[in-house]
Amino acid sequence: MGLASFVVRQPAEYFNLEFSTKLTIPTSTFGIPSTNSALLPMINTLYLPELREMLAESNSEGLRDFCEAIHPARAAEFMAGLSNEEAWEVLQQTQIELQVDIFGYFGKSKQHGILETVDVHQAAQMVAEMAPDDRVDVLQEIDERRRNDLLDLLPVAERRDFQRLSQYPEGTAGAVMTTEVAKLAESLTIREALNEVARQSEDYETIYYLYVVDAEDHLRGLVSARQLLTGMKSPETTLAQIMDTDLVTADVLEDQEDVANKVARMDLLAIPVVDNQHKMLGIITHDDVIDVVREEATEDAHRIGAVDPLDESYLRTGLFTLTWKRGIWLTILFFFALLTAFAIDGFKDQIAEWGWLAVFIPLIISSGGNSGSQSATLIITALSRGHITLSDWSRVVMREILMGLLLGFGLALMGYLASRFFVPDNVAWTNAVMFVVPITLVLIVVCGTLTGSILPLLFERLGWDPAMMSTPFVAGIVDILGILIYFNVAIRFMAQAAH
Amino acid sequence: MGLASFVVRQPAEYFNLEFSTKLTIPTSTFGIPSTNSALLPMINTLYLPELREMLAESNSEGLRDFCEAIHPARAAEFMAGLSNEEAWEVLQQTQIELQVDIFGYFGKSKQHGILETVDVHQAAQMVAEMAPDDRVDVLQEIDERRRNDLLDLLPVAERRDFQRLSQYPEGTAGAVMTTEVAKLAESLTIREALNEVARQSEDYETIYYLYVVDAEDHLRGLVSARQLLTGMKSPETTLAQIMDTDLVTADVLEDQEDVANKVARMDLLAIPVVDNQHKMLGIITHDDVIDVVREEATEDAHRIGAVDPLDESYLRTGLFTLTWKRGIWLTILFFFALLTAFAIDGFKDQIAEWGWLAVFIPLIISSGGNSGSQSATLIITALSRGHITLSDWSRVVMREILMGLLLGFGLALMGYLASRFFVPDNVAWTNAVMFVVPITLVLIVVCGTLTGSILPLLFERLGWDPAMMSTPFVAGIVDILGILIYFNVAIRFMAQAAH
């Protein structure tokens, strides 16, 4: 049974299954029910049986209709349950532009699997049609020999494009940009520009910003499609007369996070990427910016939680890969904790003498660790969103010391009250004991806020990722300091009280 | 000295200070140096003296030139150091559309301050020109009496718009959308549509997606500006013939985070917002989506780090507000830690007998807490990015148990080796002791991964924000479990070894 005829015969049913075609949408229930569809699992098995049946029957028409009737992102979801060979066979039934679109929505591992296993000539045809930035992304991650085979089969222009784009280090503007951008001469009139855009629009990633360049590709200005449309009344005006020249640009080696911050702050649709001669190399569009923002935010969150950032989504990351990405950090933190154990071991005589000392160990180290984590989180997110810079360091550190004092005194008050519950009445040094925990709390909380703020700033200063100074890492350092402070405060007070 | 004449006389110098005008850009150094400008502090004091001088001289022309020569975002930065009254006076020198633009880039507190203090009639004029979504945002946060005064002065259409938009709860699509959208009838031809857009484009937030609706505003389809431009060859084609009908829509009450995920996954420029009758209410554009993504990501990161999310950036949040937002969480965590202290207090006889027990307390609880934090971080980020849903819970829990076992055995091996350093040779139960720490580690790490994965899923199930189950919170719970497991394992082994 073909899918196409199925759709025609039973549109309402298909519609309820979040599947619609251009031909058969009943007005009353038009559109796609939106509830929770953002949370659709990436693998949707709803149409797997139909797809497999059509593949078995070599039903080209049905498969083509499937590809063409729905949004490519959704087609990709429905195909995610197919094997690489099956998915590729489905794609082969439709036109190459749509193949590229659907392929772009596959998960990374499926993309790599397909490119590495299917017929290299067919694969090269599709790769040649991909947007230059996507092409570089996917080719750089597949098997090297296969990559070279594919590159050999690409047209010269695309091969050269790959070589140029792939030279930019990951995480820079150059690595995210696409070169498919509308560049126009400033002498063009509005009418000519409109015709040019109408003719070429298929080749461009966006036609909503048109860039005006000189003969050597130096960026001169920007004309938006909005300006072109509203300028149609005077079609002989030249672009030079209407173009905007106060442009925000990205340097080709600029950090992608900085570029994303810029686009977000200025509400741009795209940002041109230039070299140090101000020659226009490409653009980064809004959808790439959203991807960068999400990617960086997730990476930051993972680092804050002491997990090495994942390359794929949680469920798609292999169990051993994930264990490894957690294990390396747990091991590092374990050795910090071992140092804490060594430190406590050094004070075992005191613990033997004053049993209550052991009781408060977790309270002390978690108060220090938590306030340190808070500071690190605040500083890391503020740095990555561009809310603070290194030049603010003294203000930041001053604020953290003040907050540490406020928070420390607050906890100390609670600690003072708490220690009343634990200290046996017959201990001679009650007063001293009542002060050991509170004083330690003030000191360790200030210590935590200082460590949590200074370490990310230091990392930023050294040109490393401040989020690498993950908050449990800060907590690990503060733990050791906490033990040292705690026992030293205790020893001094007990000695003084003994006099 | 006027700024305009200054620019004309010394363009190069101004240019180096990241200030450029349309008139005076030398080709060789065209554009804005991009290095680090994304990290520019929001307050830029570079032009404060000039601005104040021009204000003192009532130099309207100079001030107008300042507003018009540079990007509104940058003008707002340079004005951030002015008082509310001064900033407002500068704005008054330019046309109202530009006033709105620059005002939109001010920080929240400045926006509120200005609207609450300046002449109410002038303020109402500007508010009337704002985009509907921005208007709602700012009006909802100012003093209620002032808000009512301003609303009374708005034109009827804008006032009604405010009332409609402000009914949607914060965090829903309705609260983020704008109503300034191009809606066209499907019977329009491409030529008519182009003329319509050219005439109306000033009023729309985007003209790159044009929505086709029926007489009752039900959404029927979408025509992109790209389609219009490429369709100019056959200007008599109707929109109904070229429009795309497989639309991705957002429900007006849908969570803004889900909407952002949808836009990001489908690479959309904007998403139409509809009610349950599929009536078109507004759109959410790419720049709002980036803001939502950044806002949600920062909130998640803050919750993961146990800080109540900030409403403003780090440096702009008052010291006491920030202390409060940290203090409430530190206090909650402090009471968890107190429970740990109670638990240890219950085992003080064992500690007195076996002194080595105290030494490993931080190692045990931090291993459990860290693995729990990792799980919570992974699950929270995967939920918020739509990579897992509640229906995946059994798979997630199974993975976490397996990872807990793998990580636990890894740490146990290290713990086994570590305990060799600490256990005195003369202890009769050496073998037992060597096993207490390793066995506890396996149990507590599995316990950590389970708690860290189940709690966020449970919160999601209850309709709460899973990120509220911040990772230190998970760590706090796991700490108590860690103490209980540790001492119970120790007591059993020591009892057995004593036989």
Task: List beta partners, residue B210.
Answer: B223
**Confidence at residue B44, expressed as pLDDT on a 0 to 100 scale:** 64
Which residues 108-137 on chain A approach chain B with CB closer than 8 angstroms? none
Give Dmax (Cα) for chain A: 98
pLDDT of B75 over the 70 cut: yes
Which of A159, A260, A276, A137 lies closest to A219, judged by CA? A276
- Find the DSSP H helices in A19-71: 48-56, 60-69
| Separation between Cα atoms, residue A183 and residue A35, nearest integer Å | 41
- Find the DSSP H helices in A423-470: 430-461
Please indicate whether residue A47 or residue B339 has the higher confidence score (pLDDT).
Answer: B339
Query: Which of the residues B19, B29, B30, B273 would you substitute to probe the A interface, choosing the one with the greatest number of A C-beta atoms within 10 Å?
Result: B30
Give strand ranges (E) for B133-218.
183-185, 209-213
- What ipTM is given for this predicted complex? 0.72
| Separation between Cα atoms, residue B415 and residue B394, nearest integer Å | 30
| Separation between Cα atoms, residue A324 and residue A309, nearest integer Å | 11
Find all residues with CB under 8 Å of A68, minimum gap 6, and list them.
Answer: A94, A98
A&B contacts, CB < 8 Å: 462
pLDDT band at B143 (very low <50, low <70, confident <90, very high): confident
| Separation between Cα atoms, residue A187 and residue A7, nearest integer Å | 51
What's at B184, amino acid-wise? L
Q: Name the one residue in this structure whose structure tokens are 């808070």.
A: A374
Which residues 166-185 on chain B approach chain A with CB closer than 8 angstroms? none
**Does the CB of A398 have a partner CB in chain B at under 8 Å?**
no
Report chain A residues whose CB lies below 8 A from the CB of B295.
none
| A101 in Cβ contact with A129 (< 8 Å) | no
Q: Write the DSSP assignment of B311-358 as a string of letters.
A: SS-GGGS-HHHHHHHHHHHHHHHHHHHHHHHHHHHHTHHHHHH-THHH
* Cα-Cα end-to-end distance for chain B: 96
Query: Which of the residues A42, A328, A332, A333 would you substitute to probe the B interface, choosing the one with the greatest number of B C-beta atoms within 10 Å?
Result: A333
Query: Which of the residues B363, B400, B420 would you substitute to probe the A interface, choosing the one with the greatest number of A C-beta atoms within 10 Å?
Result: B363
Give the pair of three-digit tokens for residue A361: 């160990």
What does each C-alpha distance from B440 to B166, B405, B450 come to in angstroms?
54, 12, 15
DSSP-based three-state secondary structure for B306: coil
- Please state the φ and ψ torsions of residue A213, each to the nearest 5 degrees: -130, 160
Report chain A residues whose CB lies below 8 A from the CB of B333.
366-367, 370
Q: Work out the minimum CA distance from B149 to partner chain A, whole angstroms.
A: 31
Report chain B residues whose CB lies below 8 A from the CB of A338.
363, 418
Task: List beta partners, residue A210.
Answer: A223
| Separation between Cα atoms, residue B420 and residue B415, nearest integer Å | 9
**Confidence at residue B3, expressed as pLDDT on a 0 to 100 scale:** 39
Which of A127, A139, A136 lies closest to A165, judged by CA? A136
pLDDT of B130 over the 50 cut: yes
Q: Write the DSSP assignment of B51-77 as a string of letters.
A: HHHHHHTT-HHHHHHHHHHS-HHHHHH
**Number of C-beta neighbours around residue B84 at 10 A:** 18
pLDDT of B445 over the 90 cut: yes
The chain A residue lying nearest B379, using CA atoms, is A314
pLDDT band at B371 (very low <50, low <70, confident <90, very high): very high
**Confidence at residue B173, expressed as pLDDT on a 0 to 100 scale:** 93
The chain A residue lying nearest B279, using CA atoms, is A30
Report chain B residues whose CB lies below 8 A from the CB of A411.
330-331, 334
Q: Do B341 and A377 touch (CB under 8 A)?
A: no
| A258 in Cβ contact with B39 (< 8 Å) | yes
Burial class (CB in 10 A: 0-12, 13-18, 19+), B375: buried
Q: Work out the minimum CA distance from B246 to partner chain A, whole angstroms.
A: 6
What's at B402, amino acid-wise? L
Report chain B residues whose CB lies below 8 A from the CB of A254.
34-35
Mean pLDDT of B391-404: 92
Give strand ranges (E) for B92-208.
183-185
Mean pLDDT of B238-260: 90
Give the pair of three-digit tokens for residue B247: 């639309």
Q: Do B351 and A351 touch (CB under 8 A)?
A: yes
Q: Work out the minimum CA distance from A145 to partner chain B, whole angstroms.
A: 31
Cα dihedral angle (A345, A346, A349, A355), rounded to 10 degrees?
-50
**Number of C-beta neighbours around residue A28 at 10 A:** 9
**Number of C-beta neighbours around residue B368 at 10 A:** 34
Which residues 294-313 on chain A approach chain B with CB closer than 8 angstroms? 294, 297-298, 300-302, 304-307, 310, 313
Q: Which of B274, B382, B407 sits opposite A313 (nearest CB)?
A: B382
Q: DSSP code of A430?
A: H
**Does the CB of A497 have a partner CB in chain B at under 8 Å?**
no
**Does the CB of B75 have a partner CB in chain A at under 8 Å?**
no
Please indicate whether residue B180 or residue B453 has the higher confidence score (pLDDT).
Answer: B453
**Confidence at residue B300, expressed as pLDDT on a 0 to 100 scale:** 83
Report chain B residues whose CB lies below 8 A from the CB of A370.
306, 329-330, 333, 472
pLDDT of B410 over the 90 cut: yes
**Confidence at residue B77, expressed as pLDDT on a 0 to 100 scale:** 84
Which of A270, A269, A310, A312 lies closest to A173, judged by CA? A270
Query: Which of the residues B20, B35, B237, B378 would you substitute to probe the A interface, choosing the one with the greatest number of A C-beta atoms within 10 Å?
Result: B378
Q: DSSP code of A36?
A: T
**Number of C-beta neighbours around residue A488 at 10 A:** 13
Task: List beta partners, residue B282.
Answer: B273
Q: Do B370 and A73 touch (CB under 8 A)?
A: no
- As a residue count, chain B comes to 499
| A439 in Cβ contact with A412 (< 8 Å) | yes
Find all residues with CB under 8 Å of A40, minimum gap 6, and list them.
Answer: A77, B386, B389
Report chain A residues whose CB lies below 8 A from the CB of B347.
none
| Separation between Cα atoms, residue B457 and residue B390, nearest integer Å | 7
pLDDT tens digits for range B17-71: 333 333 332 333 333 333 333 333 345 667 788 888 999 998 888 899 888 888 8
Q: Do A71 and B246 touch (CB under 8 A)?
A: yes
- Please state the φ and ψ torsions of residue A424, each to the nearest 5 degrees: -65, 140
Distance of CA B89 to the CA centre of its chain: 32
**Does the CB of B399 have a partner CB in chain A at under 8 Å?**
yes
**Confidence at residue A127, expressed as pLDDT on a 0 to 100 scale:** 92
**Confidence at residue A44, expressed as pLDDT on a 0 to 100 scale:** 63
Report chain B residues whose CB lies below 8 A from the CB of A355.
348, 351-352
Q: Do B471 and A302 touch (CB under 8 A)?
A: no
Q: Do B329 and A247 touch (CB under 8 A)?
A: no
Q: Work out the minimum CA distance from B230 to partner chain A, whole angstroms.
A: 4
pLDDT band at B390 (very low <50, low <70, confident <90, very high): confident
Q: Do A226 and B194 touch (CB under 8 A)?
A: no
- Please state the φ and ψ torsions of residue B272, each to the nearest 5 degrees: -75, 145
Give the pair of three-digit tokens for residue A26: 């009943």
Query: Which of the residues B43, B242, B338, B461 would you substitute to probe the A interface, choosing the one with the greatest number of A C-beta atoms within 10 Å?
Result: B338
**Confidence at residue A13, expressed as pLDDT on a 0 to 100 scale:** 35
Give strand ranges (E) for A172-322.
183-185, 209-213, 219-224, 250-251, 270-274, 280-285
| Lowest-pLDDT choice from A51-55, A339-343, B12-16, B438-442 | B12-16
The chain B residue lying nearest A31, using CA atoms, is B247
| Separation between Cα atoms, residue B208 and residue B228, nearest integer Å | 10
Mean pLDDT of B219-230: 87
Q: Work out the minimum CA distance from B387 to partner chain A, whole angstroms.
A: 6
What does each C-alpha distance from B360 to B56, B211, B355, B418, B441 come to in angstroms?
69, 65, 10, 10, 11
DSSP helix, strand, coil percent of chain A (3-state; round to 5):
65, 5, 25
Q: Do B245 and A301 touch (CB under 8 A)?
A: no
Report CA Rg, chain B: 31
**Does the CB of B220 have a partner CB in chain A at under 8 Å?**
yes
**Does the CB of A366 have a partner CB in chain B at under 8 Å?**
yes
pTM of the full structure: 0.73
**Confidence at residue A422, expressed as pLDDT on a 0 to 100 scale:** 65
Report chain A residues whose CB lies below 8 A from the CB of B207.
225-226, 229
**Confidence at residue A181, expressed as pLDDT on a 0 to 100 scale:** 85
Q: Which of B25, B225, B385 sits opposite A225 (nearest CB)?
A: B225
Find all residues with CB under 8 Å of A56, minimum gap 6, and list them.
Answer: none
Q: Which of A248, A260, A306 sits opposite B370 (nearest CB)?
A: A306
| B198 in Cβ contact with B180 (< 8 Å) | no
Q: Which of A249, A373, A479 sits opposite B34 (nearest CB)?
A: A249
| B229 in Cβ contact with A225 (< 8 Å) | yes
DSSP-based three-state secondary structure for A347: coil
Which of A410, A378, A381, A369 lies closest to A397, judged by CA? A378
Q: Which of A29, A194, A363 sits opposite B232 (nearest CB)?
A: A194
What's at B336, amino acid-wise? F
pLDDT of B292 over the 70 cut: yes
| Separation between Cα atoms, residue A225 and residue A383, nearest integer Å | 35
**Confidence at residue B488, expressed as pLDDT on a 0 to 100 scale:** 92
**Number of C-beta neighbours around residue B319 at 10 A:** 12
What strands, in cross-sheet order, belong to the sheet with B219-224?
Answer: B183-185, B209-213, B219-224
pLDDT tens, chain A, 499 aa long: 333 333 333 333 333 333 333 333 233 333 333 333 333 334 566 778 888 899 999 888 889 988 888 888 888 888 888 888 999 999 999 999 899 999 988 888 889 889 999 999 999 999 999 988 888 888 888 888 999 999 999 998 888 888 888 889 888 999 889 888 888 998 999 988 888 887 777 677 777 888 999 989 999 999 988 888 888 788 899 999 999 888 889 999 999 988 998 898 888 889 999 999 999 999 999 888 988 888 888 888 888 878 888 877 788 788 888 888 888 888 888 888 888 888 888 888 888 887 778 888 888 988 998 899 899 989 988 888 778 888 888 999 999 999 999 999 999 998 888 777 766 555 555 666 678 888 999 999 999 999 999 999 998 888 887 877 667 778 888 999 999 999 999 888 877 776 6
